[in-house]
Chains A and B, each alone.
Chain A
Amino acid sequence: MKNNQYIKFLQRLVAACMVLSLSACATDLQTRVAGHLTALSKNQTVAILPVETSDPGQNEMAKMFRQGLYANLKQSEFHLLERYVIDGLLKQNKLTNPSTLLTINPMQFGEILGVDAIVFSRINKVERSYFVLHSSIELSVSVQMVDTRSGEILWRAEQTEQDFSGIGKIPTGITTALLAPIQFVTNKFNLSRMTSNMVDKLTVLVKHPNEADSENQFEKPVIAKNATNELKKIEELQQLKAEWQQAMILDGKAGLSDSSENLESNKESLVEITTKTENNSVKKNIMQARSLVQKRKPVESEMPLLFPKKEAKIPINLSQAKTIEPIAVIESKETPLIARSHVGTSPKQLASPKTQLYTIQVGAYKTKAHARKLERSLKSKGYDVFITRNGKNIYRVQVDRFASKEDAIKLAHRIQIKEKLKNFVTRFSGV
């Protein structure tokens, strides 16, 4: 009877040990790829950026991980940019802190590194535990590959790898029962082996994207959040230009529109596109552009920032579209009223950082003379007109300042009807 109980106890112990060994020696891998990943060929170059860590103690693991990524992704269909080239160019651009890299728009990386896609990665956890008869190592990483040309996330993965040594694995002797856990957590070879195994599993789908089943594919294209922000800025600028062009066409001031469009120097003469933009189709185009932007919503599957407040300071200004945040003029059939909530206040006084003011922009010119011409024309009609100049040396003709956006919209509407002058309400940034 006693013997039977002992055998049962042993059986349970062995079963428990087996369960423990199977559960603890585990991999949790969640990986997804985009269909466009298959379009990357040897003609496209990918950069594996320095690995972000959450603790300085993870630097060694970060190096091993990046090296492992290199070795594994060398077997993929695309070309990898040499590591020393990446690090050198990042250093030249003063981007030496890996934790800030995720905040930078992928398109800027496209220009800084000359690559078609970038791989962000982060070591989330390197945990070594030791409890006399049991020790374990837990590694956790996040990876994201983004297309610099479109901002699309091509690959996203989260992986946790755990392994242990101790009584759960049935020691071969009393000595090893004591030594194995120490050996497991202290031997560098184990961390290296685990990292190598981890990267092998992690990169399988990127090396063979055609083998991804539907579960491992994004349902629709996912655009990285920082890329969406940049694209929105660009599209808003285009929106503004398109509206301005339309206004000029309606206003019959084609000559002025030419100068407003010429925002960049070094322009070469280009052949006009064969399809002419019809006046009545401009609005439709604008609507379509908006709807396209709205379709590309970032999803939660994007790699979150480890330190949300950290932002990279890029010394070079690659963005050509910025600071203008136009507010669309709302079409209203109400009788417009001119509300002047700030009469007698100078623009400089009004430009207090505490109070947000709004103004109506009626024109933007590279040539000051054109701006002056419009200013004089509106002044003669009694409007409070002034000219501001932005960082790109564009002269903006603006009318009035308002504490209330609604009031600004009302006057904007009136100007549009009465003066037949396209405009938009924007934040007043001072003179």
Chain B
Amino acid sequence: MKSWLTDKQNSLLKKLTIFIVLFGMVFGGCGTVDLKVRKNLDHPNIHPNTVAILPFTLAGPTPEGVPVNRLFRECFFNYFSYLGYVDVPLETIDHKLHAAGMKKYKEVLGFSSQKLRDILAVDAVIKGQVLETNNFTGGIHAETSIKAKIEMIDLRTGETLWETEHKESIYSGILSPTVVEIIQDQMDNVKVHQALYKTAEMFSIGIMMKIPDPAEVWQKEIRLPEIKSIETNLKPNQKLKPKDRIYVNLKGDAGLKGSFGIGSWKSNIPLREITPGMYSGSYIVQESDEISSALIVGTLKNAQGLTGKKFYKHGMAFIEKSSLN
């Protein structure tokens, strides 16, 4: 080796090696999430529709006792809702699990797929385990990291659909390119809760890029409840007075939850289904109502929470009040 290179060349080679290593470290930044998809989800029948994100567990102590598992779960849920799954609200999941006898988060890891399916009535669940957390600020070094294992399990088959074990770090130190960044990062890092949330956020953003998104699969099947017609007893330019009654009749899909609103002033006034597909209701104008030029809007909501709306455009509600005159 020595015979091939002169001392000068050797020195240059060493410098080049150090440069490449530094370059790689600077450009590498935080590693990307390595998500392993265990099952091909191309077929629409295979894709789970409803998903519950189970409580994340915590393996060890956390900086300043911040509940990283809860914080991470909420953050993950917020980002996960962007994907094409019907995600069950976290409060609903927790409520159902508590009702089923779960007392500690760790217990959820031991639940069988069938048991979880019975409790939550969803196609799939996401399990998360926070394995390690760190928040350190000292000298010129600052670092916050979260290491976690996250997996999606199809409750219909018990199979793991995808999984990842990843460590997300936000750090600053000798490799940070500038002094200002080092100072800024250190200032940010001492706010522990905020630093951990930011790390959880970057973890979530990273993982969302890799999780299979079935949005395209479900898009074709979406159908809002249909409202064929809406009628009211409002006349064009009619002034309403307290104790006047606004009647609303609505014709649409049968068996749904009907309601109507008066512009953005009043909403969710119930409509009763008097015959299949025919909904009726009324509202008595109150002394305290302040309504001007409001359109009546009828609403039908299905079990999935999807809502059909229709405006009545032949009359507007406005209430004659001394303050409006």
With both chains docked as a complex, state the minimum distance between the C-beta of B210 and any C-beta of chain A, in angstroms.
14
The reply to whether A288 and B239 contact each other, CB–CB distance below 8 Å, is: yes
How would residues 36 to 54 of chain A score, 1 for a CB under 8 Å from any chain B CB and 0 otherwise?
1001000111000000000
The reply to whether B180 and A70 contact each other, CB–CB distance below 8 Å, is: no
Q: Which of B173-198 contact A (CB under 8 A)?
A: 174, 176-182, 198
With both chains docked as a complex, state the minimum distance between the C-beta of B269 and any C-beta of chain A, in angstroms.
12
Q: With A71-B82, A88-B219, A266-B229 as given contacts, are A273 and B234 in contact (CB-CB < 8 Å)?
A: yes
The reply to whether A169 and B309 contact each other, CB–CB distance below 8 Å, is: no
Q: With A84-B219, A114-B224, A192-B205 as given contacts, are A235 and B316 in contact (CB-CB < 8 Å)?
A: yes
From B19, B78, B251, B313, A234 is in contact (CB under 8 Å) with: B313
The reply to whether A292 and B292 contact each other, CB–CB distance below 8 Å, is: yes
* B133 CB-CB contact with A under 8 Å: no
* A351 CB-CB contact with B under 8 Å: no
- Scoring B221, B228, B297 by chain A CB atoms within 10 A of each residue's CB, the highest score goes to B297
With both chains docked as a complex, state the minimum distance between the C-beta of B163 and any C-beta of chain A, in angstroms.
22
Interchain CA distance A181-B238 in the complex, whole Å:
66
With both chains docked as a complex, state the minimum distance between the C-beta of B236 and any C-beta of chain A, in angstroms.
4
- Scoring B218, B221, B228, B246 by chain A CB atoms within 10 A of each residue's CB, the highest score goes to B218
Chain A residues contacting B66 (CB-CB under 8 Å) are: none
* B144 CB-CB contact with A under 8 Å: no
For chain B, give the interface size range: 35 or more
Task: Tell me whether chain A's interface is mostly helix, strand or loop, or mixed.
Answer: helix
* A416 CB-CB contact with B under 8 Å: no
- Scoring B22, B180, B216 by chain A CB atoms within 10 A of each residue's CB, the highest score goes to B180
The reply to whether A150 and B178 contact each other, CB–CB distance below 8 Å, is: no
With both chains docked as a complex, state the minimum distance between the C-beta of A169 and any C-beta of chain B, in angstroms.
3
Interface-facing stretch out of B24-32, B53-61, B99-107, B111-119: B24-32
From B23, B182, B220, B306, A179 is in contact (CB under 8 Å) with: B23
* Interface positions of A (Cβ within 8 A of B): 17, 21, 25, 36, 39, 43-45, 64, 66-67, 70-72, 74-75, 79-80, 82-85, 87-89, 91-92, 107, 110-111, 113-116, 147-150, 152, 165-166, 168-172, 175-177, 179-180, 183-184, 186-187, 189, 192-193, 196, 231, 234-235, 237-239, 241-242, 245, 263-264, 266-268, 270-275, 277, 281-282, 285-286, 288-289, 292-293, 296, 319-321
Ordered by A's residue number, 21 sampled pairs between the chains whose C-beta atoms are within 8 Å are A70-B82, A82-B81, A83-B215, A85-B306, A88-B220, A88-B221, A114-B307, A114-B308, A116-B264, A116-B267, A152-B264, A169-B181, A172-B182, A196-B201, A237-B313, A238-B315, A277-B235, A288-B318, A288-B325, A289-B237, A321-B313
